A = this chain, B = another copy of it.
């Protein structure tokens, strides 16, 4: 039996949910995930990769089912102490989560690449798929926000977490991306894929950093017919996070049509939610095929069915 390659371009939570469905449909060994590292940060001396960890923890079934984020059985003793000292507490790090960051930071200090450490973490959770950071080089998403009086550039997490993305955005850039090379295997995974799935992640700050790394956007464009994207915008709003507001702030239409304009060069098909079925024609007017189907992944069953639809859209049998 020939092993297929399903390549998923991924951000955080939305991508993780899709992957949780996809692994019910195809063998995990057939899946290569290319993950975002633009929202990585170094805090308290630790290298934190939020999107990679969200994928790992979700697929390892370690996410707290009640909160919907963070780890099961998590405790907050370290952050309580940081708080006692008046330290930086806006980026909440649970004790279990810290263990991942301690391990990653130590391995990086030994000279391991982020790819290598990520593979080790995924192996420890016995996940079976490949998770590749898009690059082993440091790239950092920087956000120009409008303070009451002046514009100011802040780190992604300062905008996203500390300021709860509750401030108008003027510009984005991915610092360091000019010097970044794709991590080993990234371009091959795209070019050799039977299907490239663009997860329902934020097109600008989750998928954007992937495409900004040298060669990635060209690779995706070169296999456009095998590329199927899922709109993170449903009925004019982001299911989670600030994608809608951010698209509006940066001059894009916060609808599936706006998403289609961002992806038309890269993906042959855009999958939109059934709530947007009336916009199939408008999406196709942007030069993409449109498929309307349930995309709100309220259960793993819905996610699995979405996975089947995505593979079917590019003629890959589940």
Binding site for B on A (CB under 8 A): 43-47, 73-75, 77-82, 84-88, 93-100, 102-103, 105-107, 109, 120-121, 124
Contact = CB atoms under 8 A, between A and B. Distances in A.
Contact of A98 (B98, B103, B120, B121): B98
A45 B48 CA distance: 12
A87 B121 CA distance: 10
A95 B78 contact: yes
Contact of A124 (B46, B85, B120): B85
Contacts of A84: 99, 124
A87 B75 contact: no
B120 A85 contact: yes
Given A45-B47, A46-B45, A95-B95, A103 B81 contact: yes
A98 B100 contact: no
A109 to B, nearest CB: 6
Nearest to A105: B45
A131 to B, nearest CB: 14
A78 B106 CA distance: 13
Contacts of A96: 77-78, 80-81
19 contacts: A45-B47, A45-B105, A46-B46, A75-B75, A77-B96, A77-B98, A77-B99, A78-B96, A80-B96, A80-B99, A81-B96, A82-B102, A84-B99, A84-B124, A85-B120, A85-B124, A87-B103, A93-B102, A95-B95
A150 to B, nearest CB: 23
A99 B75 contact: no
A267 B208 CA distance: 67
A47 B44 CA distance: 10
A76 B263 CA distance: 46
Given A45-B46, A124-B84, A75 B103 contact: no
Nearest to A108: B45
A44, A47, A97, A124 pick with most chain B CB within 10 angstroms: A44
A103 B85 contact: yes
A87 to B, nearest CB: 4
A80, A84, A120 pick with most chain B CB within 10 angstroms: A84
A157 B88 CA distance: 28
A75 B99 CA distance: 12
A85 B44 contact: no
In the A-B complex, the 9 residue pairs with the closest CB atoms: A81-B99, A45-B105, A77-B95, A44-B102, A95-B95, A87-B103, A45-B45, A78-B99, A85-B103
Given A45-B45, A45-B106, 16 more contacts: A43-B106, A44-B102, A44-B105, A45-B102, A45-B105, A46-B46, A75-B95, A77-B94, A78-B95, A78-B102, A82-B103, A86-B120, A87-B102, A87-B103, A87-B107, A98-B98
Contacts of A45: 45-47, 102, 105-106, 109
Contacts of A79: 99
A20 B64 CA distance: 42
